[in-house]
């Protein structure tokens, strides 16, 4: 497995989770990494993305539906990108997956990535 998403689970409304997207067999530091989610009966939605570091603070992107609640970050030494999720609501329930591309967040979130990880289930329910 070259890209693995983990950290999902069951959480109550208003709760928090942190997802991890871990890379193996390639150097994640050169890649833009995006997080996606797909709820039953809905299309896949790109929720956040982070550009490669390139020696400076990497740029980030958030969908309107998660801005100010979710935070994407990366630790290139650990070859991992994180998605911190706060104030979770039932509408955040979905399978979350990650993808990495050598191009840009725009391209990755457009569905063109070099690596795709399997999803992790996030369920927000009381």
* Residue pLDDT, tens place only, 37-95: 999 999 999 999 999 977 667 899 999 999 999 999 999 999 999 999 999 999 999 99
What is the maximal distance between C-alpha atoms in the chain? 43
Compute φ and ψ for 59, nearest 5 degrees. -75, 150
Distant-in-sequence, close-in-space partners of 102: CB < 8 Å, separation ≥ 6: 30, 31, 32, 114
Q: What is the structure's pLDDT at 16?
A: 98
Distance CA 5, CA 73 (A): 14
H-assigned helices in 13-117? 105-109
Q: What is the structure's pLDDT at 55?
A: 60
- Has residue 106 got a pLDDT over 80? yes
- Stretch 91-117: mean pLDDT, rounded? 94
| Top-confidence residue, 25 or 118 | 118
pLDDT in tens, 20-45: 999 988 888 899 999 999 999 999 99
Nearest-Å Rg of the Cα atoms of the chain is 13
Q: Taking a C-beta distance cutoff of 8 angstroms, is the pair 7, 119 a contact? A: no
């Amino acid at each position: 497995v070259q890209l693995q998403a983990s950290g999902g689970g069951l959480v109550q409304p208003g709760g928090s989770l942190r997802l991890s997207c871990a890379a193996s067999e390639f150097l994640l530091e050169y890649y833009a990494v995006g997080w996606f989610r797909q709820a039953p009966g809905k299309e896949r939605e790109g929720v956040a993305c982070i550009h490669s570091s390139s020696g400076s603070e990497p740029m980030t992107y958030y969908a309107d539906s998660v801005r100010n609640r979710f935070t994407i970050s990366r630790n290139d030494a650990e070859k991992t990108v994180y998605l911190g999720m706060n104030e979770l609501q039932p509408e955040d329930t979905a399978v979350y997956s990650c993808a990495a591309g050598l191009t840009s967040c725009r391209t990755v979130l457009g569905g063109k990535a070099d690596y795709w990880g399997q999803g992790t289930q996030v369920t927000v329910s009381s």
